[in-house]
Structure formats: structure tokens, C-alpha cells
Structure 1
Amino acid sequence: MTDRTTPASPLDAAHWQARLDEAAARHGVPGAGLGISHGETVIEAVTGFANLDARIEATTDTLFQIGSITKVWTATVAMGLVDEGLLSLDRPVVEVLPELRLSDPDLTRRVTLRHLLSHTSGIDGDFFVDTGRGDDCLEKYTERLAEVGVNHPLGATMSYCNSGFNLIGRIIERLTGDGWDQAMRKRLYEPLGLTHTVTLPEDALRFRTATGHSGRGDEQKGVPQWGLVRSAGPAGLICSTPREVLAFTRLHLNDGVTADGTRVLSADSAELMRRKQIDLPNGHTLGDSWGLGWILMGWDGHRLYGHDGTTLGQSAFLRILPDADLAVCLLTNGGDSKALYADLYGEIVHSLAGVTMPPPLEPAAGPLPADVAEHLGVYEREAVRMEVVRRDDALTMRTTVTNGLAMGRQEEPVIESELRQVEGDVYVTRFPGLRDWMPVTFYRLADGSSYLHAGVRATPKVG
């Protein structure tokens, strides 16, 4: 293992290149790009392969899928429309899209942009449907939202909602007169001077582009499907490089102003995006609360914001520590990328900012608590069904994935994992092949209904 000594200088590129090489190999990550922005300095490192099957090496210009980090980009353009007076955070979005029909008429009448940006709308979030490759894909997707169920009452809790961001994409189209892809390019990529940020596969093919990988160790191979369906664009289809993701991040660190002085977003809107809108029922997954697009978190007495992304065999991680003018972006295409993130980011923020990353959640020692009966049962939402059962002296969660796109990967449709208590109603589970535990929280809404919160999604108990 490479010596984890302090870098020779605050941003020692050779040191972080060595750390990336070693850690990616240790966690079986085929290829990864790392970018660190500290003050006015940006360094890049890259390791491994963009495509293992084709033996194509990754470079600093390789495009990776940034997945749901896309949501913050979509949120930025939407907030720009709020600045222009074309859109309101707190007026019903049906005023912009009068044809909108959701499965609940009251939700249709009342849901706002603030609900959509903060994942509190209640619209079941993992509705992935292929509505074609045409420029009308989001229009068709919006029509299909009438089929989608409701996870929870409007504003009652937080549940991660891809569907809501695709709806925001359609709102952007209606107000700008451009397709979402074109609106993003005109209103964000071009003002930022980005040359390696795209959404469509025909544009990605102009560059060296990473493919996702499944499996572990020597069994890893490229996934059979490169990208998500086009109608998922506003929620997760941007492809980019660490350097260009950090250029977007600098826009927010500068309160809406690009490097050349162009204002893309008002300072008030930039600040509002990172202001808490709702606490998470499970404050151990990603962050403790959510803003308007950004995930908010606390590390060692400091406040950070950021976002993660997962697509088919690719994972992305972005964290911003404004106190230290520090941003870190990691883009990967397989393996235990979450463990790679945890190891690297812990070292980076401690070395460059003196901040200690919170330790991963671990189960408590001791037997299963006696009062687990209320947790047993079936929890279900769009694409995922979870059964919590007791087997002897252990709790088991049986997760059935009915739409693989909802999990951002193509794996076994049924996963069984043990649930172990941390404290109270907070448990952890660990899926096969991964090092770190995933928090699972049992809780009730104000109306008394039972929910399970895992993967930042609220899943109601149905039986």
C-alpha cells in the first residue's frame, strides 16, 4: 500500500495521483477521474480504464456519467428562470404546465417547484420509462406521470424523486422554448466555457467516453447498456470530466458568477439552493438535510454541500467545503466506488482543510433487540419491494428490484441482506460485494403511517 504521508505541498498532484492509483486498485474500480479545486488551484488525476473490454485507458479528458449530480445542474437552470421572473418557487407548477395530470388531483393542483427541488412532492421517484429518442421525450414522459403512484402526502417527508426532476426538465422546456438538452447548453455549459460536457450519446461519441462495469475482481465486464433512457435526462444524463464539474462547482462557490464574470444565477438563488429545506429521516445517508438541489451535511463542525450520482455501472461523488474554498469530484465506472470515495475524501479534506470526515456507520454489538415486531412486514414503492422478516435471532431484508434502472445498476433482481441495529430505530445492512454498511431507518409520519427510509427514499409499509 502507498504510504499515506502528508503531501509535500497543499496540492501535490503526484501524491494524489499515487493515492488514486493505489485506492482504485484496492477497491476494484476499473477507471476513475479525480479533481480537486482548492482556492484558485485545480489538479486532476486519472487511473485505469475507460473501457476494460476494449482496453481503452482513461485520460483526464475522458467523459464519465455524472448521474444524479445532473440534478443540481437542472436546479441551477430552473433557479435562473426564477431569477428572471418566469417561474416561482411556491406557485403550483400546473400554472406553467396546465396539461399536467398526476395520479392524485390534489397533488396536481398544489405541487410546487420547491417541492420538486427538495424531493418532498411525494411523487414516486423511480419511474423510468422509455418515451423514445425524440425531442418530445420529456413531453411524453410528463403525460405518463398520471400512472405514477404517490409515496407520501405532499411535504410530509423527504423521498428522493427522479420523476420530479424530469418534470422540472419539461418546465424548463416550456419556459425557454428549447429542449432540455439545448437549454442546458445555452444557459449553463456555454456561459461556463465547458467543452467536454454533453447529454446525448451522439455528442459523447466525439470524445473518449467511459462505460460502466459490473461484477467484481477479474470477473468485471462492461454493462450491456451504456446509458439511461433519454427521458431521464434532467435527473441524470450529463456526461462530463472532473475539471468541468469543478467549473460548475466554482459557479456556486462564487454565488452564481462564472470565472469570466458572467452572472448565471443571482447570489440570493445560489444561497437559497444550499439553505436547508427539510431534514432527512435518516441523517446518516449522504447528508442530514436537503436544500434546493444540493445535499447538505456536517463534518467535524463544518457545513458542506454536494451530491452523488449512480447510473449503469458508474458512480460519481461531489463535495464542497466552502469554509476552505475546497471542492472534490470523483467519477468512477465500477467496483466498490463508495469505499474508494470514503478513503480518498477522508484523506483529502483532512490534509487540505484539517476536517475529519465522519466515520462510517457501524452496527452495535449485542443481540437483536426484543421489540422488532413493528418493523416486520412489506414496504413497497415504484420499482422496489422490501420485506423485513425475522429469522431466528436475526432480521433479514429481502429487496426485490422490479426495475433495475431504479437502482442505477443491473444486478440480481432479489437481494437478501441482514439488518443490524445501530440504535433505536436506526439499522444498517450491507449488500453483497460492498464494504460499507447502508443505513435503514424505521419511522412514522405525523399521520401515524409506517415508513422505511433507505437510499434516501421513503418507502411506505403496505402489509
Structure 2
Amino acid sequence: MKSLMSLLAAALTFTATPATPATPATAAPELTPAAVDAYLREAMESTGVPGVSVVVTRGGEVVHAAGYGHDSAGRPVTEDTPMRVASVSKSFTAMAVMTLVERGGIELDGPVAAQLPGFTMADPRAARITVRQLLNQTSGLSDRTVDIGATERATSLADYTARLAGSRLAADPGTRWEYCNVNYDLAARLVEVASGRRFGDYLRERVFGPLGMTSSAFSDKVVPVADGYNSLFGAWLPRPELAGFHDDSGAGGAITTAADMGKWLIAQAGDGRPPVGRQSLEAMHRPTKLRPYGMGWGIEDNGQLVHSGNLFTYNAVEAVSPKTGYGFAVMTNSATLYDPTYDIMLGLTALSEGRSPQGPGNDRQLFEAVLAAIALVAAGLGVLGAVRARRWAAKRAGRPRWRVGVRLLPALIPVAVLAAYPDLVTVLVNGRTVTWAQLAYFPAPMSITLVVAALAGLGVTIARICVLCKLTRYTN
């Protein structure tokens, strides 16, 4: 992803591709562990992130798996350090669904409502949503028409499903692509109903277990994970992950390691005895006509399968190239206004294709330095405006009130922007619901800057009004 505002969607970025062949489709240069390690150490230094774990695979082999930096407990990050991977979870959820499709437990093109007791919505069109449409993100479900706040208070997938009863669709099923986490939490609940087991238990037994992913789970009660970090004007602050992806969330609840992701990427290439057959893999990697997005995977212009994941203290990206047979997973234990995981993945992709990688920069410090400067200027102007309030009021004491009111309005613009802040960001991220609590996490430097500007503008306005009132009483 990697613009400042697109990251605010928290788990929005993705891209996907047709099935990856088990052997490279074209000859690719040999990517050595030493070359990978050198690039990652350079990326670690340039981005300044606290910790990152990475795995590179090719066909059925792990080329390199390692960790760099430290976690919030001060322990070194290794290839075995658990990391939250946010929306990368969607590819795991799609795999779980497809295992049940192959066993006849789920009908891929059958209506969800007929297979999921308790799923109703205040929209008759919801009865036509198919399982395939959930996984392809073409169901018509949208953050704009679902009560996301209510779903975030759910205590289980069954409770989550019940909380959708009063919501509506934004489009007819199958007519529009729109990224919405509800699709994959419903898919996870469907897995529970079809299998008779909790979603996380089913993943462990039927997906993670067969692949040897022994350090992966959909709950931090099963695989404990350290707090991640946010950057506040250059300082790394450890923080617990924001609630919202409850245990077993099929949209973003997965915790895994670089070592386990190596096994996962190998399975996606059709090697390593994947839990499903070739046809199912192809279905998951096949884009829809509406969008280059399959089932938990998207397609980039170069044909590479990719899906990113963004939480509020962790970021991740996974990729598989049908052109070279390489696979990549990059995970960081931090979240800021700039997410470097995608750029690091692009650098590894370039190395695997014999190109010189463009190293990720330190846009985080640039963004935050600019915001800090704006906050300082706003505070300074606020103090200056308050000090000069008497001079300002003296020039306008005898003028009509409406004209004075108009001259007061510019200082209140930051106050109006702050009042509408979550709604404005929601519009900027294509309708994805954004809350005040979320804006206090990785966007905190931007939020603080806006608060400072609003307080400065409000202080200047109050000072001017107070002086005007005194002058008016004196002259009368």
C-alpha cells in the first residue's frame, strides 16, 4: 500500500493472481541466503523498525528465514517469533473453506443463508449471497451499510453473525467488488458450522497441522504474542493491539511465524502436500471479472499473488510469484503512517528477478517530522494570536457582528476538521469505518497535530471574543 491515507484502512491492501505453478515458469537467478540477509539488514537500518521477520521460498524449499531487531519485551526477533498478520489471515480462511468444499461440507456456489443458521439481514438480497462471493469480496457487504461498531463488540463468531441482522447490503450480490472484513468473519463462522468445531481448532487440525505450522493459531491464548509498537514523532512506544479482531476472526485474527509462513508459501505453490488439491488452489488464486482478487489473494500487474495485512501495532505481507516460483512473507511488529513491509517485499521480488532492489526509505520519520513541524507552527500561531487578541479586537470593535463573526471563522477551521475527523478519514479510505480509538494508534502523530491545531484555533477565537466583549461593554 503505501500511501499515508490508504494505510488508515488497517488491513486494506492486497493484490492477487492465477494459480502458481509448482516449478518456475521462467528461469530465475539464484537468490542466495547471503544476498537476502544483506538486503534485509540494509532495509532494517533504513526503515528503523523495531523488529521484522522474513521468509523467502522457492518451489518446495526455504531459501532464507530470519528475524531482525527486537520485540517489546526486549527479546531478539527470529524466524520463530510470533507475529500478528492481520488480513493475511484471509488466505488461511479461504483454505479452511476449500477443505470443507472438497469434503462436501460446504457448497461453494450455494447460498450462505441456506448453510449458516442464524445468518439474516434486513435486506432480502442477502439470501442470495454465495460462499464464493464471500471469499471473492463480491457479496455486496460493505462497511458503509453494516454496523461495524456492533460487530466489533461480538464475543464469538456466532454472536458476530447475529449482530448483522439489522444491516443491509450496499449492492446486489455478485455485481460489485468491495473489500469488507465481514465477508471473511462470516466464512469463518461457516467453517465452524460445517465442521462442528471452533474455527481456530479446525484451522489447527486441518490446515496448520498437516503443513507443520505448529506455531500458528487464531488466538493469542494459543500462541502468545508480544505487544507491538507505534511511532510517536520518532519514538517507538509498545502498545497492546487494539480490540476488534476477536479470537477466531477469519478476517484478521491469525498469529504466525516466518518459519511457519515458509511452509504456507510452499503449499501455495502446490508443493509441500497442500491441504487441498490443484483445482482448489487454482480457484483461490483465480481473479474475478470485477476485480483482480481471488480468495484471500489479489493479483498485481506483474502477475504476482499478494495480500497485505495491517493492524494497529503489526503489519505483514505475503507474495508468491508464478513467474519465478519464489514466495515471500514480511512481518513487522510495528505500525506507523508508513508501512515498509510492502516495499521490502518488492525489494525481495526485484532480487529474485535479477534486478537491483530499490531499498525502502524512512518515510516514517519524514511524515512525522513534517507533522511535528506543523504542530509546533500551529501552537506558535495560537500563542501569537492570543497575545494579539486585543489589537485584533480593537480594529473590529465597532463593526457589525456578522462581519466580525466571519473574520473569526478561519481560526475555527481546524476545530471543524477535528470534529469530523473520523468521518473524513472514512471517506478517504473508501468507506471503511474508522473510529476515534483507531485514530489514537498508528495515526497518533497526525491526530495529535490536528488536536494541537484545533486547540490553537479555539484558543485564539476565545481570546478574541473575550476582548471584544470587554471592549463592547466599555464603549457602551
Q: TM-score, normalised by structure 2?
A: 0.67
Q: How does 1:189-208 map to 2 (within 5 A)?
A: 189-205=208-224
Contact 1:311 1:409 in 2 (8 A): no
Is 2:42 the counterpart of 1:22?
Answer: yes
User: Partners in 1 of 2:439 and 2:115 — Cα distance?
Assistant: 31
Is 2:424 the counterpart of 1:386?
Answer: yes
Q: How does 1:446-461 map to 2 (within 5 A)?
A: none
Is 2:150 the counterpart of 1:139?
Answer: no
Q: Could you say which residue in structure 2 is the equivalent of 1:271?
A: 282
Q: How does 1:272-421 map to 2 (within 5 A)?
A: 272-280=283-291, 289-299=292-302, 303-334=303-334, 340-354=340-354, 385-386=423-424, 402-403=434-435, 409=441, 411-412=443-444
Q: Could you say which residue in structure 2 is the equivalent of 1:164?
A: 183
Going from structure 1 to structure 2, the CA distance change for 1:170 and 1:339 (only over 3 Å counts) comes to closer
List per-residue Cα deviations over 1:359-402 (Å, max 9, x = no partner). 99xxxxxxxxxxxxxxxxxxxxxx9633899xxxxxx9999964
% identity of equivalent residues = 24
Q: Could you say which residue in structure 2 is the equivalent of 1:378?
A: none
Going from structure 1 to structure 2, the CA distance change for 1:171 and 1:397 (only over 3 Å counts) comes to closer
Contact 1:397 1:416 in 2 (8 A): no
List per-residue Cα deviations over 1:399-433 (Å, max 9, x = no partner). 9964367789553498699xxxxxxxxxxxxxxxx
User: Partners in 2 of 1:225 and 1:343 — Cα distance?
Assistant: 23
User: Partners in 2 of 1:113 and 1:408 — Cα distance?
Assistant: 35
Going from structure 1 to structure 2, the CA distance change for 1:171 and 1:401 (only over 3 Å counts) comes to closer
**Superposition deviation, residue 270 in structure 1:** 0.7
**Superposition deviation, residue 167 in structure 1:** 0.5
Contact 1:386 1:399 in 2 (8 A): no
Is 2:267 the counterpart of 1:251?
Answer: yes
User: Partners in 2 of 1:112 and 1:414 — Cα distance?
Assistant: 40
Going from structure 1 to structure 2, the CA distance change for 1:243 and 1:42 (only over 3 Å counts) comes to farther
Going from structure 1 to structure 2, the CA distance change for 1:113 and 1:416 (only over 3 Å counts) comes to farther
Q: TM-score, normalised by structure 1?
A: 0.69
Corresponding residue to 1:85 among 104, 110, 128:
104
Contact 2:422 2:436 in 1 (8 A): no
Counterpart of 1:276, as a letter, is P
Structure with max Cα Rg: 2
User: Partners in 1 of 2:342 and 2:331 — Cα distance?
Assistant: 13
Contact 1:400 1:413 in 2 (8 A): no
Counterpart of 1:114, as a letter, is R
**39-48 or 306-315: which moved more?**
39-48
**Superposition deviation, residue 229 in structure 1:** 3.7
Contact 1:62 1:210 in 2 (8 A): no
**405-414 or 123-132: which moved more?**
405-414
Is 2:133 the counterpart of 1:115?
Answer: yes
Q: How does 1:48-63 map to 2 (within 5 A)?
A: 48-51=69-72, 54-63=73-82
**396-405 or 265-274: which moved more?**
396-405
**335-344 or 59-68: which moved more?**
335-344
Q: How does 1:62-73 map to 2 (within 5 A)?
A: 62-73=81-92
User: Partners in 2 of 1:243 and 1:21 — Cα distance?
Assistant: 18
Q: How does 1:97-246 map to 2 (within 5 A)?
A: 97-107=116-126, 109-125=127-143, 127=148, 129-131=151-153, 137-205=156-224, 209-216=225-232, 218-225=234-241, 228-230=244-246, 233-246=249-262
**306-315 or 401-410: which moved more?**
401-410
Structure 1: gaps spanning 5 or more residues: 1-8, 281-288, 361-382, 390-395, 418-463
Contact 2:88 2:252 in 1 (8 A): yes
**Superposition deviation, residue 212 in structure 1:** 1.7
Going from structure 1 to structure 2, the CA distance change for 1:176 and 1:331 (only over 3 Å counts) comes to same
Q: Give the strand-richer structure, 1 or 2.
A: 1
List per-residue Cα deviations over 1:76-112 (Å, max 9, x = no partner). 11011111222222211111124311131222x1011
User: Partners in 1 of 2:241 and 2:289 — Cα distance?
Assistant: 35
Q: Could you say which residue in structure 1 is the equivalent of 2:94?
A: 75
Q: Whose relative contact order is higher, 1 or 2, with alpha carbons under 8 Å and at least 6 apart? A: 2
SS of the residue aligned with 2:334?
coil
Structure 2: gaps spanning 5 or more residues: 1-28, 361-420, 450-476
Q: Could you say which residue in structure 2 is the equivalent of 1:431?
A: none
**Superposition deviation, residue 194 in structure 1:** 1.4
**Superposition deviation, residue 350 in structure 1:** 2.4
List per-residue Cα deviations over 1:44-87 (Å, max 9, x = no partner). 13211111xx3232122100001111111110110111112222
What CA RMSD, in Å, does the superposition of the two structures yield over aligned residues?
3.4
SS of the residue aligned with 1:385?
helix
Q: Could you say which residue in structure 1 is the equivalent of 2:383?
A: none
User: Partners in 1 of 2:269 and 2:236 — Cα distance?
Assistant: 38
List per-residue Cα deviations over 1:329-348 (Å, max 9, x = no partner). 10002255966335433332
Contact 2:317 2:345 in 1 (8 A): no
SS of the residue aligned with 1:234?
coil
Going from structure 1 to structure 2, the CA distance change for 1:405 and 1:323 (only over 3 Å counts) comes to farther
SS of the residue aligned with 1:323?
coil
SS of the residue aligned with 2:137?
coil
